[in-house]
Amino acid sequence: MSKAASTNVVHPTLQHKVFINFRGEELRGNFISHLINALKAEGIYPYIDNEEPLGEDLSVFFKRIKESSIAIAVISSLYSNSQWCLNELAEIKECVAEGKLVVFPVFYKVSVDTVRRQTSTFGENLNRLVGTDDNKGTKWRTALTYVTKKKGVSVHKKR
């Protein structure tokens, strides 16, 4: 096949089946890029938030979660600073509870226990973000606790 012809071929597995939920500010340039490269090497093309054009309605991310089969939730120390990460996690939790999605948590340089109990700086950041909005607080806390009960991995050391 000529080079020109091969650029027009759509890879059959490019439909995203894996949604990656993470705090971009903290992880985009390191852990996430390695994770994406490892998945792609296995023929898995994950969905990440920078694939949407600027100005796109944020509800598209919830649509992408619902279209996926697997969600990888990479929870890090700054994760609880992000309302958007927590909203995505709450949506992931709902899809898992409905049997429409499997979640695989990765605890990146934060302990499962800290996330489960929402303690230390992680919990302080969450409390600050929640403020007085009990509805959001309950939804986010429930999703965080839920994901700590799923089989996942913890990454604590530099390699």
pLDDT digits (tens, 9 = 90+) for 128-146: 999 978 899 999 999 999 9
What DSSP line would sit under 63-84, residue for residue? HHHHH-SEEEEEEETTGGG-HH
Domains in the chain: ranges and CATH: 12-155 (3.40.50.10140)
Distance between CA atoms of residues 65 and 117, nearest Å: 26
Q: Are 25 and 78 in contact (CB under 8 A)?
A: yes
Range with the poorest average pLDDT among 1-10, 12-21, 52-61: 1-10
Q: What's the chain's length in residues?
A: 159
Active site residue 88: yes
Distance between CA atoms of residues 107 and 113, nearest Å: 10
Query: From residue 128, how far is each of 76, 113, 131, 142 by CA, in Å?
Result: 17, 20, 5, 17
pLDDT above 80 (res 1): no
**Mean pLDDT computed over 2-10:** 38
- Please tell me which residue in 42, 56, 88, 98 is annotated as part of the active site: 88
